[in-house]
Structure 1
Amino acid sequence: MTGDSPVVHGFPHLDTVRSAITALYRRMSYEGVRSYAPSLVPADAAFSDQDDLHLGAQRVARAMVQHLHLPDARMIVAFRAMEHAGSVELAAGPEYFIELNDRFRTHRRDIGAALSHEVMHVLLHRLGLEFPGTRDNEILTDTAATYLGAGWLLLDAFREDGTSSQKLGYLTPEEFGYVLAKRAFAFDEDPSPWFTSPQAYEAFAAGRARAEQDARQPPLTAAGWAGRRRYAKVRRYAQDHPGTTAAPVPGVPYAFEAGPDGLRVSFACPTCLQRIRVAVRGRVRVRCALCRTVLDCDT
């Protein structure tokens, strides 16, 4: 896990983040994902300067193991000089060796954040879930840690002022906020009281605003007037040009296609981001087969 690169803002990895959320639901099932409620509580990751470094790190690692449902895994945490924030040896288990950057000896409140990422590597390794390429796989790890209730610590480790900055993980602060907001909507949680960093709260607010946009896209009935008007224009074009994939408005988050019973529209579920296909029949209520979210649509 990196920790020293310049802080990038915005949503440059959003497509990969969304794919990671979908992959979690597909690999773990709805019931499996829902079993990670509630989130890791702040007290379980608390680490004061008075705590013994190694005993405290082992205590937080055990809390991560318990939260992430790894009952037989044992984490052995050590510290050394290294380029990245941390690393983990993904062996057969049940013992896993985690190394953290020496700087955490004096930045102890962020040890929980670093461990949430490294222990998540172990869970994904056991699940056999990975993305091709180092960058995408690390984005998957950050997304999974956050969506399963431990990675909010990674966002809280983000601090920035006029002269310095610190961020852990591969997601931008706003992307962490986006994933955390997705979890908050799905699990009916409010993580905002847990933040100790003002910058983390601001990033969460920005990510939440982006996540709310997903729930206001046509054909969902919560879409605004402008979105509905554009949707009607694209639908009319699809009806007048059957069999074509071209659309008069580029960049729309839905697509029309011909089905056995007429025109169908596909769009992303706002919860798990899986594509849903619905017949164009006016107002309908559909249930996502992957995450069981019930959606009111006006197709």
Structure 2
Amino acid sequence: MLAEFSVRSINAIRPDIAAIVDEHIDEMLARGGPLDLVQAFSLPVPSRVICEILGVPYSDHTFFQETSQNLVQAESPEQAIESVGLLIAYFDELISACLKQPGAGMIGRIATEHVATDRLAKHELIMNALMLLIAGHETTASMITLGVITLLAHPEQLAELRGDEALVGPAVEELLRYLSIADIAGTRVAVADVEVGGITVKRGDSLVVSHSLANRDPSAFTDPDTFDIARGSRHHLAFGYGVHQCLGQNLARAELQIALPALFSRIPDLRLAVDRSDLVLRDGGTVQGVNELLITWGAEA
């Protein structure tokens, strides 16, 4: 695991994450509702955090947020290829600058310690940085937004969460299990013949593994279609499994554990400004979520 994503490193930056969260809530309260939670909070919070970890200038956030969205929600192969090309060119330029003069964050460190010494090819750092940037803000942004929707749809459990700090960790794990937003990551190729559920998967066969279905498996979870923050289970597959587990899971957990309680604590009467049935969900083949979520608080207009 990269040092920047270890439990120790993430715990060390929890105060920084909390400060970013509070800053954006301050801005929301100053503006007043209704406003789009995605643009005001869910997207900028993890974007700023991952930029600081990687050493990516946050001043470029409009470019990489829009380009990342065009990639994960591409409507054609051409759009996906174009978006990847733009991001590769961006990181190529950033890493080249770091090789001339040591840069900040993980990218700056690896460029100096590994690329400059020929221990790692430049294109390998480019592709890893691209993956971490996209995964580091797109998925967490969707989880924050869908987490808000889910908790508001279960007011009794939200009240329990507000009253018991010990429930924050279990609540986040249950949201990760219940929502399972990144099924697109579960593609595998069998390297040998293997039997799964009484079916022989032959070497070379491709499989799409649905995290959503696995996380709703009644043999693994009692009453799996029920949202229960007291479930206390961490054996879900929201972050994958084994050597393919998500590198940034410690960061994602920390951001959710900090952002969601802060949001509902500082805006206790937060509510949707639209009917839940009118929300427009993304296509299921991408990182699942909504691109806009109007919220409000205070007295009814």
- Provide the TM-score with structure 2 as the length reference: 0.28
The higher radius of gyration belongs to 1
- Provide the TM-score with structure 1 as the length reference: 0.29
Q: Determine which structure has the larger helix proportion and give its number.
A: 2
Higher relative contact order, chain-length normalized (CA < 8 Å, sep 6+): 2
